[in-house]
Amino acid sequence: MNRTRLLTIMAVFVAIGTLGAQLIWFPAGVARAYPVQHAVNVMAAVTLGPWPAVGIAFMIGLLRNMLGLGTLLAFPGGMVGAFVAGYLYKKSNKIALAAGGEAIGSGVIGALFAVPFSHILMGSAVGAFAFMPSFLVSSITGAFIGWFVISRVKHTSLIRV
């Protein structure tokens, strides 16, 4: 894939993730759940690979924070989940493993990363178990949506999965 096409697809994913965060969210424990972010992570991980997916997750988190649509917790959850999803898909070529990687990466590992992140940057001293339920609800919901969309789209000639 040439660089222009890659950057264009990445920009579309960033736009979907940023706008989707404004439209679809729900309260989940100590955080808000943004399932579109996780759906985009799965779709980007499968179509583009782990590193572009991490870049997309970073840009979505940055834009959401700049627009006042999210918190700094968008970074550890989104980026870790995108990487794990992309890595597992790259190794297995299975969309279900990418979705599971997103759920585990964001819901568990991302929640663990959020603890020192929130302590240092946000002044909050809550533990991982405060973040984990919220992160899991959001990431499992979004991973399922991403898995569903990408498994439907792979039957078309729109993308090469």
Strands of the chain (E only): list them: 26-28, 31-33
- Tell me which CATH code domain 3-153 carries: 1.10.1760.20
* CA angle (88 as vertex; 87, 92 as ends), nearest 5: 120
Each residue's pLDDT expressed in tens, for the chain with a length of 161 residues:
799 999 999 999 999 999 998 898 888 776 778 899 999 999 999 999 999 999 999 999 999 989 988 777 778 889 999 999 999 999 999 999 999 999 999 999 988 887 777 777 766 666 656 778 888 998 999 999 999 999 998 877 666 66
Q: Where are the domains of the chain?
A: 3-153
Adjacent-strand bridge partners of 32: 27
Q: What 3-state DSSP class applies to 68?
A: coil
